[in-house]
Structure 1
Amino acid sequence: MAFDGRLRYSAHMVPTLAHGRAYVRRHALPLIAVVVLTIVAASVLRLYAHRQAVMGLQQDAARIARQEERLLGSELQRFRLLPIVLVEYPDVGDALRNGSVAAAARLNQKLRGLAERTGAPVIYAIDRHGRTVSASNAGQSDSFVGRDYSFRPYFRQAMRTGTAEYFALGNTSHRPGLFLARRIGLASAPDGVIVVKVEFARMVQAWASDAGHTLLLDDHGVVVVTTDSAAEFTLIRPLTPAAEATIRQSQQFGDIALRPCPYRIAGQNATDREGVRYVVGATPAPLPRWQLIHVLPSEPALKAADGWVRSVTALIAVGLIGLALLATWRRTRAERAALAREALEDEVARRTAELRASNNRLTVEIAERIRADQRFRAAREELAQANRLGSLGSITAGVAHEINQPVAAIRTLADNARTFLSRAKPDKAAANLAAIVELTERIASIVQEMRRFVRRGAHGLGPVSLDAVLDGTMLLIGDRFRTAGVALERPNGGALPQVMAGRIRLEQVLVNLLQNALDAVADSPSPRVRLTVTEQPDGVQLVVEDNGPGLDPAIASEIFTPFVTGKPDGLGLGLGIARDIMTEFGGVLETIPSGLGGAGFRLRMRRA
């Protein structure tokens, strides 16, 4: 019996063990598949996420580089106007030609005031031998007066070609900066050079608000301006022997030893000495053969991408485990549930594919909208710049005509005075000379107004006289009205009130409105434009109206919207800019019915 019992026990155990092994295989294989699929999905997602993160960083780095290049170009353009304006100062030529102490003292005061108003660190005049005769820091411990700068390349180049822009470490102040130089006098007989130094401390502070670091490279590959102090005055590439000799001879960087840059840049990627990886955005700087580079660390973006991958992988793993458990549970049920199980799996697969396709379409649409927005912003900035340059061009033409008339009169009076002197008639000659003085004062007032209009970047608010604003506006565009034969009616009956505004920007608004009115009445048989000032309990109103055809009803309600214009060749930016300026003043620019039958615009301003 024992033998038979053992046989029965063994025979019972064989199918039981086989069933156990099949059970283990049936449950282990789905789990193994879940693990494998999760690892594969994580690897694919990680590659995708890292690629997208790097592409996003490259776009951000390029965008920041372009943005900072535009900021640098705007700052340089503001200072590049100073040497051009200073060439017209008569005291500059007197101080350089005659060596007069009094002329140098007067020029010191003018340069000091100009430097304070513009924010230039120092402005100075060098005679033709290279000696500084006048400077905005005269009388200070670091005064440039009396110093010899004939060895500086910017002095030699300006004397030779007329202009020069040169970056160097200050020989006296030991602060780096860009020296903008312009020759005074003719190339055959130069009087000297006027120099404006530009420092970049404020620019670096503005750049520092962006993520990453910015490097400004000169034509030799030297990092001259940067937000990373460790990279300042380092070399992005080795110097050639000729460049090294030139830098040493001109003392461009003083005693500073130029060492290799801590960033090793290769295309759009870079690493530092610690092995930290960066993404690079580069753009040409607004100086010959200079380059602006912006580097963004890639590690934060890659960590964020890894976090996203972990989250998505966990969701995928949970989903796969759920599917595996569901499949295992379904397989243990009767055959009658097989069709339902297959239908459910097919539905899950179909919906997963639909969601993935929808997600891909949304990703493409979002990227396209971002690119369209970037193109729109760039186009709007270009159009605004074109509008400003066009207005400045028409004003310059009118002012040139205003100056030509008194210049012609001065020549005639001077010839007559010479004739009277030769005939021993000093009284008549003196009368001609007095008339010449009055005409030169007229020219000086016109030129001063033009220069003030060019410096319209100041944004301060304060009490402004409407009389002075109207006089300045007429100096700029009065010639256009007289040439076109258009009557401009100005307010009469005493002094006009003062308002809270910025004079130059308020003149810009009036110039824009008056030019539009002048264009509107061009075909009118008896053109008229009228300015009216009315004092109200809550402020001051200034109305500009004309007897032209008026505003087109189709665009009247959107006349202040950018790119909406009634002119065939207009950009549609002027009125929008004018309304923004009035809003900054705390005032209003609006359209009103014109008492003359054409278009009317009303400026409401706060009383000073």
Structure 2
Amino acid sequence: MKLRHALVFVILPVFIGLAALQGGAIATRAYMEEASLQASSALRLAVSALGGHLSRYEPLPALIADHDDIKALLRAPSDPALRETANTYLQQINTLLRSSDIYVMTMDGETISASNYDGPASFVGQNFSYRPYFQDAARGLQSRFYALGTTSLKRGYYFASPVSVDGAIRGVIVFKVDIDSIETSWKGGEYKIFVADPEGIIFMTGSPEWLYNGILPLDAARLARTQASRRYADAPLKELPLKRKTEDGHSLMTVTDDGAAREYLVLSQYMPEADWTVNVLMDTASVRGQARTVVIALILFVCLAGLAIAILLQRRARTAERLRLEERARNELEHRVAERTADLARVNEQIELEIAERRLTEQELRKTQADLIQAGKLAGLGQMSAALSHEFNQPLAAAKTYADSAALLIDRGRTEEARDNLSRISGLVDRMASISRHLRNFARKPNEKLGPVGLDAVVDDTLEIVAARLKAADATLDVDLGRHPPAVVAGPVRLQQVLVNIITNAADAVEGQRNRTIELKARRKGGRVLLTVRDHGPGVPASIAERIFDPFFTTKGVGKGLGLGLSISYNIVKDFGGSLSVTNHADGGAVFRIELDAAEKMKDAAE
């Protein structure tokens, strides 16, 4: 027995160690895969935004290169009047297209006309023949290039096109596109996003401290290629202090910044048309923390299991010891009986009787213990049944009372009062069916067409869903749909989903506040219906107001949401032909405004 106990206490720590290692690896792999899927969505959005922004300008240089003023200037580059005309034209086009700069160069690389001709950093007179985009366009190719301007010191993406005059290439026209607006949207988000050139130098990033840092070693060959094109002018280049590794097929990068090291999950996508690589970095601290939590829980579980096994072994040891003692006493008793004389026969019988009574007592004790265990099981089943039937007990009890009363009323000939009791029973049954129907309808995937929807019915259905959340937040919902609740053009299930999302967010906002009132109002506004939901919470900070409807944006803690509720609501309302916006009330709190077409407007259009 002691050997068995020793083996348990030796094997248990080994098993705990193996469980911690394997459990940690499995949990880390699962959470890392989930994080990779989230980062992959962010990467696709970033690549799509960059590609869409650049594709708008790609065909423009070739179109403007065919303009008569540009061709006339390249026939006579020194003509002041033609230069003035071309400068004015390029300035107007640049303002209209909201590009950074547009300029024309002769075949020797000299700029003879530019949209910024009258600015302090004018390109006129500058020579950019060293730029690859000029060299490619001079050979008749449509060219792209991204760099830091040597004159303006502004980053941009360049589109260059040859200008053919009388069948020969006489010059090059260049569009410079500003990309700062996209970069600004990357700042302060959940992910770190940056764009690197073929040499591994970061050209765009939401983290300004990483700009012009290399994620690849800046050896002599890379520096020579970068300097030849003067891609980054005189900006200082340095290597980003990082270490790379691969874990379960995932690329990880550890960056040391201000003495602190952070590990990131890295997802990359090469954009061949722009010749750069978009990278999305997600901090793995939350992933590691979740994995550690799983390991700790697993260790605790194994320890509890080990403790249970130890207790079981101890009980078995005590039972075996007691049986041995009883067996020893029984043997001693029999030995004494055999040695005693006939005079002790009566005493021997009494002893045997006591032994029989003891056994009977033990059997009764075991039976009592079994009965107690069974009673405990029945009590547990009773509690579970009570919890499951709690929502329906009161309506069922009331229905039985009305039914018994109706029977007495019928016996006494009071049929009208009995019919009223039956109506009440029917109402209770409808009430229980309504609770189940509302939950089922809300969970069902909607497949509906747009049509007239009464706001009063949708609001009633919504209250069935949000009642529990309002009660948990100790919040009150004041509904004011006017004397004649309007009807709107929408889908009832999806409109209900929008109201549930917004009212639930309002309940989150007022929870713990002094004033926990939520106001829901609807008013006609010409051919439109304005539906407002106002809370008395802290309101929406100006810094996030423009991003509150973006996918995956949330101010809640990890694990309390993906940041998709308001984004989905925004798109549902947009599908209805309406609009969804949020502002702060002058007296505090946030106001969500849903504007939809009135149902009468749809009817008039059909006629």
TM-score normalised by length of structure 2: 0.48
Give 1 or 2 for the bigger CA radius of gyration: 2
TM-score, structure 1 normalization: 0.48
